Amino acid sequence: MKIFCIGRNYVEHIEELKNERPDEPVVFMKPDSALLRKNKPFYIPSFSSEFHHEIELVLKIDSVGKNISKRFAPRYYSSIGLGIDFTARDLQEKLKQKGLPWEKAKAFDNSAVISERFLPLSDFGSDPLLFRLDINGETRQTGSSLQMIFSFDELVSHISKYFTLKTGDLIYTGTPAGVGPVKIGDRLQGYIGEEKLFDFLVK
């Protein structure tokens, strides 16, 4: 199983981090050891002093595909989950300044929270997917699939040019504005609409 992540896919998030708007999807990957499942706690690692939450809609790939056209991309996914892309922001900034890869700041163990349940996209029809992150009962991030620069279909098509997509692969589709640090004792709850898909503690 592969974990693909998309950076800079929401304009307001690009602006809050003072990044440039990309001409094509920014793709990076995480190993399967990054997954944090079953609402287990996120234990803050010792190598950074600033871990940021980034809530994201997550696509699950249903079948094998390569060089998929945008037109046929919907055939390769049918459900949506919710996740957190934890980022060691201070470490990421140091790596970016040196022009080095982001893996140590993005792909560390337990950095990819994933909901146990995925919802059928057919349940939403043509309605936008509205999602949010609450921390300690206060909403910190809100987003809509309509705000994405690159749509689900565009992401599937683009990624499949370079990597064969396989059943069970995950695509974290980018985070909206509002990212920020977490601390020990925080409780993070993620929702699509009013459906709660994850609920875990930071320790």
Query: How far lies 148's CA from each of 47, 83, 127, 185, 188, in Å?
Result: 32, 16, 14, 31, 23
Structure confidence at residue 22 as a pLDDT band (50, 70, 90)? confident
Query: How far lies 64's CA from each of 11, 44, 147, 160, in Å?
Result: 31, 35, 28, 10
Q: What is the pLDDT of residues 91-138, one digit of tens each?
A: 999 998 999 998 999 999 999 999 999 999 999 998 999 999 999 999
Backbone angles phi, psi at 20, to 5 degrees: -90, 145
* Count of alpha carbons within 13 angstroms of residue 100, beta-carbon side: 11
Q: What is the DSSP letter of 170?
A: E
Q: CA 118, 119, 121 angle in degrees (round to 5)?
A: 125
Summarize the confidence of residues 57-75 as an average pLDDT.
Answer: 98
Could you tell me how many residues make up the chain?
203
Q: Domain coordinates of the chain in residue numbers?
A: 3-201
CATH class, domain 3-201, is alpha beta
The answer to whether 73 and 157 are in contact (CB under 8 A) is yes
Count of CB atoms situated within 10 Å of the CB of 70: 14
Summarize the confidence of residues 50-58 as an average pLDDT.
Answer: 98
Tokens read off for 122: 């057919």
